[in-house]
Structures are given as C-alpha cells and as structure tokens.
Amino acid sequence: MKVLAIGDIVGESGVKKLELELPRIKEEKHIDFVIVNGENAAGGMGINKNNFKGMLKAGANVVTLGNHTWAKKDVFGFINDNQIIRPANYSKGLPGKGYNIFECNGKKIAVINLIGRVDMNVLSENPFQLAKRIIEKINQAVDYIFIDFHAEATAEKIALGRYLDGKVTAVFGTHTHVQTADEQILPNRYRLY
Ligand SMILES: [Fe+2]
Ligand SMILES: [Fe+2]
C-alpha cells in the first residue's frame, strides 16, 4: 500500500497545480491513496466547494483541514461529505468529523486530523489524549491509521509521533507551508496490534 500525504494546497493556483500533477504522480509512483490538506485552497484561507471538487477530481481520497477550516462559509455546505475531515480536537458540537475510515485495495485506512496547541490560536481539546481515545476505539476495525497533525511547532509534531509510536502507521505534519523533510522511522515502526 502506497499512501501519499500532501501538505497545505494554497489558493486556486495550488488546486490547479494539483489537478495538473497529481494524476501523473499517482501513476508513476503507483500511489493507492492520497491525503491532501486543503485548508488554504480558497484564496489562501479556507476552502470552497469548487476547491474541494477540484482536489477530489485531481485524485485526493480525503481532504484534511486545520485552523482555517471555517474561513469560508461555503464549507458548511459540504463539511459532512465523507471525503473531508476537520481537526478532531475542535470544540465539541462543531459540524463535521475529525476522522473517517476508507476502503482501499481491500484494506481499511483511518485518517485522523488533529490540531496542535503550541502557538495555535484555536480552542482545542488535548490532541494527545484524544488521539489515544480515537485509536482505542477504531484500532480493531482498521488496517492502517494516518494522522495529519496540523500544528506550528515541529517539537509538538515529533512529540505526537513519539507518543503514538507503534500505535499508528504514520503521523505527518501540515500548517507551516515549509517542508522540513525530517522523516523518521520510530523504534516501534509498525503498529503492534
Ligand atoms: Fe495552512
Ligand atoms: Fe494552518
């Protein structure tokens, strides 16, 4: 199983670039499943229906969000779509869902979206504790678990990776719009159960 995670797509030109490039990349690299962060698709802040449709058309299987989730009110019209998730640790009662489970090549892939708390001006529940609770709930029912941790501080992302080492397939970060390319295989590397 090859999964591609793409960080924040910025603006309509970003969506267009995705439409131009993703089909070729998927084919060349034999990608089975694509996760795209779309929180900046609408003019750099938020997401509208056209952006969402464009990203799906380009080949995204799921669109994740972040601190700009609600920046364009259009989002309320499709936030309950199966292929879009927003940070799970947003305040309870907000529309949408924080994770979803997808079928791909006979396997079940869970994708969880979380938002960080360091230098992130968003009221949110503890992402570490919530991640653990979600994983405990779904782990028997899925084959892979991916987490888009939408956070500012590299340290917070690494801490979540360490905390969930062996419990999820991968944790990756979005939000900074700068690639740190500091991938690591952690000691427990695969899910232990
Ligand atoms: Fe962003
Ligand atoms: Fe962000």
For 94-121, what is the mean pLDDT? 97
In degrees and rounded to multiples of 5, residue 172 shows phi and psi of: -130, 155
pLDDT given for residue 147 in this prediction: 98
Overall size of the chain counted in residues: 193
Residue 5 contacts by C-beta under 8 Å, 6 or more apart in sequence?
34, 35, 36, 146, 148, 170, 172
pLDDT for residue 179: 87
- Binned at pLDDT 50, 70 and 90, residue 181 comes out as confident
What spacing in Å lies between the alpha carbon of 10 and ligand 1's midpoint? Answer: 7
**Considering only CA atoms, which of 148, 135, 128, 131 is closest in space to residue 67?**
148
pLDDT for residue 193? 41
Cα distance between residue 102 and residue 191, in whole Å: 18
The pLDDT, as a whole number, for residue 121 is: 87
Distance from Cα 149 to the centre of ligand 1, integer Å: 12
CA distance 137 to 33: 23
- pLDDT grade for 114, boundaries at 50, 70 and 90: very high
pLDDT of 123:
87
Here the contacts of 187-190 (C-beta below 8 Å, separation 24 or greater) are: 189/165, 190/166
Asked whether residue 191 carries a pLDDT value surpassing 70, the answer given is no
pLDDT at 190: 63
Ligand nearest to the CA of residue 178, numbered in listed order:
1
Average pLDDT, the chain: 96
Domains located in the chain, CATH noted: 3-174 (3.60.21.10)
pLDDT surpassing 60 at residue 90 = yes
pLDDT digits (tens, 9 = 90+) for 20-57: 999 999 999 999 999 999 999 999 999 999 999 999 99
Retrieve residue 180's tokens.
């740190």
**Position 118: which residue type?**
V
Distance 144 CA to ligand 2 centre (A): 25
68 noted as active-site residue = yes
With beta carbons less than 8 A apart as the criterion, state whether 42 and 74 touch: yes
Beta strands per DSSP E along the chain: 3-6, 33-37, 62-64, 99-104, 107-115, 144-150, 170-174
What value does the mean pLDDT take over residues 175-183?
A: 92
Q: What is the largest CA-CA distance in the chain?
A: 43
User: pLDDT at residue 105 above 50?
Assistant: yes
Q: What is the pTM of this model?
A: 0.97
* Annotated catalytic residue, options 30, 68, 150, 177: 68
- Whole-number Å distance, alpha carbon 150 to ligand 2 midpoint, is 6
